[in-house]
Amino acid sequence: MSATATSSTPPFDVDALLDDRDTRIIVCCGAGGVGKTTTAAALGVRATERGRDAVVITVDPARRLAQSMGLAELDNTPRSVPLPADGAPSAGTLHAMMLDMKRTFDETVEAHADPERARQILANPFYQSLSSSFSGTQEYMAMEKLGQLRQSGDWDLIIVDTPPSRSALDFLDAPKRLGRFLDGRLIKFLAAPAKTGAFRLIGAGVGMVTGIIGKIVGAQVLKDVQTFVTAFDAVFGGFQERAERTYRLLQAPGTAFIVVAAPESDALREASYFIDRLREDHMPLAGIVLNRVHRTAVRDLPPERGLAAAETLETSGEHPVAAAALRLHAERARVHERETRLREELTSAHPEVPVIDVPARPEDVHDLEGLREIGRALAD
């Protein structure tokens, strides 16, 4: 039996969310290091057990996740995850993939441009930097991939693990920022041939701006950017429009956000920001998954009493194992008290958001069975 939190927050019914056939996209977001990827994978396994045909998109390059799903590695194409034969007859199927942002970008270009134009774009140095190392590209491509999978209609349920951004909010902002930049005034001016209307209107201002940028990054870069934007714009139309389309997909019915957190002050602060932001943007928040919650098995033994009892035994010089067990409990009880306090700070700020606690595990997840156990804990 476990000690339970005293708060009156509604429990997060993960099974109900997975069972609802109208749920088509689940987005897991939260700070780095809170177990987001494992949560996404465990949700996939659980959904499959509940009869859904699910695909999990992860952005975590760690091989461990692939291996825990019985695959040597993951790539940019959904791969079938071999499920244990003892599953229920009604079980669905599970696929998993790892986002390769460059390949996704390349494929998007190849799918939309004629071969000659695609070749031009792919060879452009600015495009190569943009597609492999620009901040925001990973988020943009995660959205692009999500849009593609959703549009293909092959997937009953898509579960997305968001990139480990500088802050959780980057996931929502970066695609738009990249779109806004590529569509922006500056880049339009840069891309416009000299002496067109745009240039004459702004006159010397633009000349100065391009001059400074040229000084900072070098003139060749400007040329690369101009060539790229011209070619890309001809193929794709507005970047911003494209980013906004996927953004709207996130607001559509059938999408559910799950905020993943751990009972640590940094992670909870990020979770709190994210909850506020989702509400502002009318993004449907299904609930919070609180990972790595430490529980105590012993009921009704506050840390102070446990320590006092341990000291009594130590003074007497007898029962050393019992004394150490009481000290261990006192430490765990203090951790539990602290986590409960942090949890209540979050739930009192967001009393209407359902929460599910996932207990900390003494061992790391190695296989599907481990993911199934977390899936069960999620549905507890």
Partner 1 sequence: MVTGKGGTGKTTLATALALALASGGKKTLLVEVEGRQGIAQIFGRAPLPYEERKVADTPQGGQVYALAVDAEAALLEYLEMFYGMRRAGMALTRFGAVDFATTIAPGVRDVLLTGKATEAVRRRSGDQRRGDQDGSRQPHIYDAVVLDAPPTGRIAQFLNVNAEVAGLARVGSIHNHAAKVMQTIRSPQTAVHFVTTLEEMPTQETLDGIDEVRAVGLNVGTVMINMVREPFFAPEVMASAAEGEIDTEALIQGLKATRMDHPERMARELAEEMTDHARRLRTESAVRERLSGIDHPRFEIPFVDDDIAPAALFALADLLRDQGAR
Nearest approach in angstroms of CB 125 to partner 1 is 7
| CB nearer to partner 1: pick between 35 and 92 | 35
| CB nearer to partner 1: pick between 248 and 299 | 299
DSSP for residue 135: T
Nearest approach in angstroms of CB 99 to partner 1 is 14
| CB nearer to partner 1: pick between 253 and 362 | 362
Distance, CA of 29 to CA of 39 (rounded, Å): 10
Nearest approach in angstroms of CB 336 to partner 1 is 10
3-state DSSP helix/strand/coil % of the chain, to nearest 5: 55, 10, 30
| CB nearer to partner 1: pick between 67 and 93 | 67
| CB nearer to partner 1: pick between 114 and 369 | 369
| CB nearer to partner 1: pick between 83 and 130 | 130
Distance, CA of 291 to CA of 289 (rounded, Å): 6
Nearest approach in angstroms of CB 17 to partner 1 is 26
Distance, CA of 99 to CA of 125 (rounded, Å): 22
The partner residues of 261 in beta bridges, in order of sequence, read: 290
The three-class DSSP label of residue 22 is coil
Nearest approach in angstroms of CB 209 to partner 1 is 5
Whether 18 contacts 43, CB under 8 Å:
yes
| CB nearer to partner 1: pick between 11 and 218 | 218
Q: How far is CA 82 from CA 38, 70, 95, 207, in A?
A: 17, 7, 9, 60
Distance, CA of 203 to CA of 212 (rounded, Å): 15
Residues in the chain: 380
Q: Which two tokens stand for residue 221?
A: 């870069």
292 phi and psi angles, rounded to 5 deg = 55, 45
Nearest approach in angstroms of CB 97 to partner 1 is 19
The three-class DSSP label of residue 332 is helix
Nearest approach in angstroms of CB 361 to partner 1 is 9
